[in-house]
A and B are shown apart, each in its own frame.
Chain A
Amino acid sequence: MFPPEIFSEIFSFLRSDACVLLTCSRTHPIFAQLIEPSLYAHVVVHNRDGFFENGRHLKLQPYQLSTLLSDTPRVINYLRSLCVELSDQIYKDHDQLMKGMTTILPRLKLERIRLTFPHHNICAEWESFPTAFRTAFVACISTSYMKEICLDVSRIPLSSFADCAGLKRLTLCQDAVPPPLSGSLDFPQLEALELCDWEMGGSSGPFFSWMLTHAAALRSLTLRTPLERVLRISLPPLLTICSASLVNLNIYYTRPGKSIYSITRIVLTLSYSTFNV
């Protein structure tokens, strides 16, 4: 019989196969205990039926995660990575998923978090989310152990990341809101930046200017853009800033990935109005 730490090591290689881990955990109570750190290391929170289950990661609805954390508090120590999957049914997300996550997020000790619309070609504006959810999200990421944040969200204030001292990887959609000129905001550990659907539109200028003064230490840059002028005009100065440190460059010169963004904004606005009635 192998010692328990050997089993734990073996199970850690199955972190991307929740189905196998669940099956193994049912074979013996000791296995169940040994598997917990791997099984709960990455959890997907969603608001959809199980039909979309892919089996790679444990998928829970907010109430299920809340119950799990209440019944088994030690799971908080295992949960390191969280993906919050939003749907196109924004009104439903606001009412159920975001409300449910508002109480959970501040309790977590995550290293990675992702906020995404995996099944729809959209991103959302930060201001469109309920205030309570935004507050909880910022509380969740404001830790020294948060290392990676990936957002299908535009126009998020960079000040939201002010207390992410250990942030290493950041993914943003379209653009973000830099701090006022008088404010200072640095990410000393930031190694990798990904900019999705970067179009350098009217509101992107301040964010671009901010990057030109804060991206000098990047080791990895990923750029997704449908526009030739972004490649031609905006990318070179950004690369010049980080030319000494850059080791890894990904360029996706493709058509827009989030092309119905403007429609999303309308949907979100309407759903907000509905709630406020």
Chain B
Amino acid sequence: MFDPEPIEVKLPSLPNLERLRLCTYTSSFKCPQNSDNNLIRYALFTIAKILQDLSSLKHLTLIICLEFTGKDITQVDWSPLSNFLSDRRSSFQHTDLHVRVYAVKAGGEVPSDQVISMLSRCENLTSLVESGHVSIKKEKFVDVHLKWFFGVYY
């Protein structure tokens, strides 16, 4: 069983916080047991630590960037992500989800259509989208810093 190193992030009480945007970039270099499935769990572990006790939050934007090293990313198990969001469906009014995937073996960023196709196989996540709790964003999150992570140059 994957057991990531605990990241003891303990944020203070933020009683008026309404909007949180959380962007994580996780590669096999950060993940202690670097299989692609563990990578997702490792990213979520950090996110969960930050999200705990933020009860006033109305709008969460999650930007999860993952660098997969496996040959076949279609076999990646996304259920930890859908379970994570499902567990918190009552905590936030709405969550915008951006997932960006870099496949090392394929030598580049996976097209967003393909990422969404993989995510849509998770029934939990699909039901969250249908109920309006989660929006999966197709468009890339525009951020000058992320541009460098994914090697997008002019």
Q: Do A and B bind each other?
A: yes
A residues at B contact (CB < 8 Å): 52, 118-119, 121, 196, 224, 228, 231-232, 235-236, 239-240, 243-255, 257
Q: Are B144 and A239 in contact (CB under 8 A)?
A: no
User: Which A residues lie within 8 Å of B27 (CB)?
Assistant: 255
Q: Are A244 and B7 in contact (CB under 8 A)?
A: no
Q: Are A246 and B14 in contact (CB under 8 A)?
A: yes
Roughly how many angstroms separate A183 CA and B15 CA in the complex, as a whole number? 33
Knowing A232-B9, A248-B19, say if A243 contacts B148 (CB, 8 Å): no
B19 — nearest CB in chain A belongs to which residue?
A248
B residues at A contact (CB < 8 Å): 7-25, 27, 46, 50, 65, 143-146, 148-149, 153-154
Q: Are B24 and A246 in contact (CB under 8 A)?
A: no
A219 — nearest CB in chain B belongs to which residue?
B16
Q: Which of B7, B15, B16, B20 contacts A231 (CB 8 A)?
A: B7
A257 — nearest CB in chain B belongs to which residue?
B145
Knowing A224-B145, A254-B145, say if A249 contacts B20 (CB, 8 Å): yes
A237 — nearest CB in chain B belongs to which residue?
B12
Which DSSP category, helix, strand, loop or mixed, fits chain A's interface? mixed
User: Which B residues lie within 8 Å of A254 (CB)?
Assistant: 23-25, 65, 145-146, 149
Q: Are B153 and A119 in contact (CB under 8 A)?
A: yes
Q: Are A251 and B50 in contact (CB under 8 A)?
A: yes
Q: Are B154 and A52 in contact (CB under 8 A)?
A: yes
Other contacts beyond A252-B143, A254-B65: 16, CB < 8 A: A119-B154, A232-B8, A236-B10, A243-B12, A243-B14, A243-B15, A244-B16, A246-B16, A247-B18, A249-B17, A249-B21, A253-B23, A253-B24, A254-B149, A255-B27, A257-B145
Q: Which of B19, B25, B148 contacts A253 (CB 8 A)?
A: B25
User: Would you give 27 A-B contacts (Cβ < 8 Å), ordered by A?
Assistant: A52-B154, A118-B144, A119-B153, A231-B9, A231-B50, A232-B7, A243-B13, A243-B14, A245-B16, A247-B16, A247-B17, A247-B18, A248-B19, A248-B20, A249-B14, A249-B17, A249-B19, A249-B20, A250-B23, A252-B145, A253-B23, A253-B24, A254-B23, A254-B146, A255-B25, A257-B145, A257-B148
B63 — nearest CB in chain A belongs to which residue?
A252
Q: Are A251 and B14 in contact (CB under 8 A)?
A: no
B61 — nearest CB in chain A belongs to which residue?
A250
Roughly how many angstroms separate A254 CA and B46 CA in the complex, as a whole number? 12
User: Which A residues lie within 8 Å of B144 (CB)?
Assistant: 118, 257
Q: Are B19 and A247 in contact (CB under 8 A)?
A: yes
Q: Shortest Cβ distance from A107 into chain B, in angstroms?
A: 28
The 8 A-B pairs of least Cβ separation, nearest first, read A257-B145, A254-B25, A250-B21, A252-B23, A240-B12, A248-B19, A121-B148, A231-B9
A220 — nearest CB in chain B belongs to which residue?
B19
Roughly how many angstroms separate A253 CA and B154 CA in the complex, as a whole number? 24
Q: Shortest Cβ distance from A91 into chain B, in angstroms?
A: 21
